[in-house]
Structure 1
């Protein structure tokens, strides 16, 4: 009995060990499979990230941006309007068919039953209508539709230039955020090195708790900036992806280094802007269209001539009588609505008011462009001067920090002087990076103000 009990205990003891080994092996397989899935997802996500240069981003935006696509659709709408207006000058053909039965018993009563009261009619006819004279209405409508094409072209230019500006700004914002993140990361790494140095000095007995605590606080204060700048990178990338209308994540490859260009004079810039701004050109075309619309409205109560005709076959059954054969008609018709209750006069007044409103908008936009031109030139000058002023500051700040750190190691500098040098270097790098970004954006905005962004036109 004892031996059986021992054997039973052994079996009972061995079973959990085997089960546990099996569970460990299954757990290992599960963890390995999960890790493989995670790694595969990370690799797939990394493969979906598309790195773009500025030229590539602008090329994608030109074909996929929603505003540009909408402007292209407006061009197609204008094309349809032109076809619609041109049709008024072309002959109109219609096919008319008829199968009808009518009965009028009053005729039988009047004629004593001699006239049949039931009548069946069947006919088919091709009709022609051609406008001959419309008091200039048709011609004005066609000319207005033709000018609509140029309006659509200018609207497409507006969308393309605005999109190019927005894409360029988003591109430079990503580069700026990356630079700011790198600066924040370097600042954190540097403060972590200071903490390590303070801890070593404390272990060696040449530093106090205050030194290590101050270094630790500096490290923790530097972390939020790293988090903020990393989030700025994500936001800027999402903004660029929105402008490009793409589903995959995007990244950029480029630099904020800029070639300093001479700033054009105000008069030269304004002359180019008034010549090439698509908004001004669109208003000019709309003003010409409004002139044609006044002519169209003025022709509403004027006489017009039309040629109308028809040719076909007709069958008529009246009582016991039957007849069928060819039928045709032709004539010149005059229409003269000499009094329409002052409706035409009201339309003319509205059209003339629209024309004057467009002229006012043109003058207002011209004044606004003058102000935009001054602001754009001043912004470029300001950004360029800041870049020049800060170009040598970073090198000086780096030398100052190196000297402060070396002096602190030798005991001739205090931590406050090192922190001041670090702060100066951080500010110098950040200011220079932002100044370069601002200069590039100012150049892009100046080209947009002149109306030549992406069109390869110079000030001259």
Structure 2
């Protein structure tokens, strides 16, 4: 083997053994929402539904257009067709019939038929119903869009709070490791007991399982976020936003928040359109009992012979135009039953609409209360964290001087960690409640 081939082979083996690092995607909440609107599969399905509804409108309008159909037929008669004539034509009795076999063994028939509706009451209702359905599909798309935006933001916040909880526990571990180090130093100087050192060691080791669990939870929440966005599971993401909120604020709804929410919520609009659609369905079913008038026409050519020499065939034409009237008289009460079903369906949609408005009223009240409660907790916990940090520093200094006990230091460290955790939870609750309130108010678009 030539020397340069050895070089290529060695280079290949060296590069093949190195793992390929996945490219990290930096991700802000705003970018996460944009990606979800592009890649979320539920949203893609809803988009396809709106496209399908547009085709339903086109289909409904097609019922007012003429119908044109072409037909062709070939028949072979092993025994030719029979015609009957009075017997007197061939010298038979008056009460007898004479039979004749007529036509050729091969028959060809072709024609074009046209039908144009002139009066059909259901066409107008069908078009209006299809248009209402198209608008309802658009509102359903907005509903899915709002749900996707809300879910992505909440999933993003779930990752942030899990990361912050992990960071908080890691800070607690650092503090406890420093205490363990100080305790060992004091033990060597004879200023601390062995029990204090053992307690410090246990405190450190008790934190490690929590950190392991939170590391796993971070990956789980990222997986949920990627699935909600529609990203591939193997993609690596790095969240750029922070969970901190120095001065939490939110857009306060107007004086009549309920009216604002009802006007903006796509769910309400969809049910309103559904109620209109059901009214048109009643009109559509009623129209099935009305007469239908159509203009019809046909042009046809036919030929018969005992052979298949088509060039020698004669192709005479026949045609007609006329009107066709169809008057329903009795259909076994099916039409009446369909009308009653449509009436009941409309009543159901009316009840659902009233119920949804009451649900929105309750959601607005609960949402405003949750946001305000979380905001107040943030303000309270911010002060608590400051006091807990001061208390921990004082207790640590007193412990080093032999004035405070190891138990006092453990309590101070636990209080500090708990205060920071409560403050973190309050921020998360505030942001989550704000996201939910935006959806409740119809702002998640």
Q: Shorter-chain-normalised TM-score: which range?
A: 0.7 to 0.9
Distance in 2 separating the partners of 1:262 and 1:241: 27
Distance in 1 separating the partners of 2:102 and 2:182: 123
Distance in 1 separating the partners of 2:142 and 2:158: 24
Q: CA deviation at 1:60?
A: 0.5
Query: Which residue in 1 is equivalent to 2:113?
Result: 127
Query: Which residue in 2 is equivalent to 1:426?
Result: 417
Query: Which residue in 1 is equivalent to 2:431?
Result: 440
**Mean Cα displacement is larger for which, 328-337 or 206-215?**
206-215
Structure 1 segments of 4 or more deviating over 6 A? none
User: Secondary structure of the equivalent of 2:256?
Assistant: helix
Which stretches in structure 2 are left out of the alignment for 5+ residues?
1-9, 88-95
**Mean Cα displacement is larger for which, 220-229 or 231-240?**
220-229
Distance in 1 separating the partners of 2:370 and 2:224: 24
Residues 117 and 415 (structure 1 numbering): CA distance in 2 closer, same or farther, change over 3 Å?
same
Distance in 1 separating the partners of 2:313 and 2:414: 110
Aligned to 2:167, which of 169, 173, 182?
Answer: 182
Once the two structures are superposed, the pairs formed by residues 159-308 of structure 1 within 5 Å of their partners are 159-247=144-232, 248-258=235-245, 259-261=247-249, 264=252, 267-308=255-296
Q: CA deviation at 1:119?
A: 5.8
Distance in 2 separating the partners of 1:113 and 1:335: 38
Query: Which residue in 2 is equivalent to 1:344?
Result: 335
Q: CA deviation at 1:281?
A: 0.3
Residues 70 and 113 (structure 1 numbering): CA distance in 2 closer, same or farther, change over 3 Å?
closer
Asked if 1:71 is matched to 2:46, the reply is: yes
Taking structure 2 as the reference length, the TM-score comes to 0.88
Query: Which residue in 2 is equivalent to 1:378?
Result: 369
Taking structure 1 as the reference length, the TM-score comes to 0.85
Aligned to 1:55, which of 22, 27, 30?
Answer: 30
Distance in 1 separating the partners of 2:133 and 2:359: 24
Aligned residue pair count: 416
Distance in 1 separating the partners of 2:257 and 2:98: 94
Query: Which residue in 1 is equivalent to 2:408?
Result: 417
Question: Is the contact made by 1:263 and 1:377 (CA closer than 8 Å) also made in structure 2?
Answer: no
Task: Name the structure with the higher helix share.
Answer: 1
Query: Which residue in 2 is equivalent to 1:27?
Result: none
RMSD: 2.4
Which stretches in structure 1 are left out of the alignment for 5+ residues?
1-29, 455-460
Distance in 2 separating the partners of 1:82 and 1:233: 48
Query: Which residue in 1 is equivalent to 2:349?
Result: 358
